[in-house]
Structure 1
């Protein structure tokens, strides 16, 4: 009647849970999760490099790069976001370049620098919601992406 535990079935339920939560999560929380994902991936890469796990390091850096490029960078509204969007775009580009160089050179200092640059932005982003300044965040009409505006 009941079958043994199947990792494949468990993964299917996990995917459904992630997909469901993605539809119910607000845009502010999504960006917070992206920042957390970048920081976790870079920390994982640093740990893998320290252990000599080349594949683990490459996979973790690849994950951080994808989050920066496909998640955070594409979410910027470069038309209505003004100087803030431009500065964040430049920061993400610099971090991506640094991660690529860190991967090629096995340079922990570059990965640490990326974490030092992203952490305050992530903390600032989280403070927007925590301080009730959520009204300072608007949604760009064309893209539906979050954009910071001056209050």
Structure 2
């Protein structure tokens, strides 16, 4: 038995199971975590001058930012949703610059913004999480 392959398959089943049973609030939290991980890996690739890995990780982070942006409810979300929309656009533009310029500081800026969003999201009172 190939242990690394079996572990990877187990992780995929576990992730799939979690996604299937997670609340919308939990799914957004998972997306924010995934974006943070992708950008952290992208930053590490920049620091190691691994061009292909940099692009791959930053592109994954961008895909998650796009998914987060696409799931904003601009009609009901008011100023918060509108501000998040602008922030996601800013992060996408910054990520493209970071990729083009091989700039770890720009990636760190994105990560700092994502950390603030995630902290606020995770601290949201329970009564507002699924309403």
TM-score by length of 1: 0.79
Count of residues in Structure 1 that have an aligned counterpart in Structure 2: 131
Structure 1: give runs of 5+ residues left out of the alignment. 140-151
The equivalent of 1:124 in structure 2 is: 120
Please point out which of 33, 38, 45 is paired with 1:36.
33
RMSD, aligned CA: 1.7
Work out which structure has the larger RCO, using CA pairs closer than 8 Å and 6 or more positions apart in sequence: 2
TM-score by length of 2: 0.90
| Structure 2 CA distance for partners of 1:25 and 1:49, relative to 1, 3 Å | same
| Structure 2 CA distance for partners of 1:104 and 1:17, relative to 1, 3 Å | same
The equivalent of 1:76 in structure 2 is: 72
The equivalent of 2:16 in structure 1 is: 19
Question: In the aligned structure 1, how far is the partner of 2:120 from the partner of 2:93?
Answer: 23
Structure 2: give runs of 5+ residues left out of the alignment. none
Alignment of 1:72-111 (within 5 A): 72-111=68-107
The structure richer in helix per residue is 2
Which one has the largest radius of gyration? 1
CA contact (8 A) 2:25 2:130 kept: no
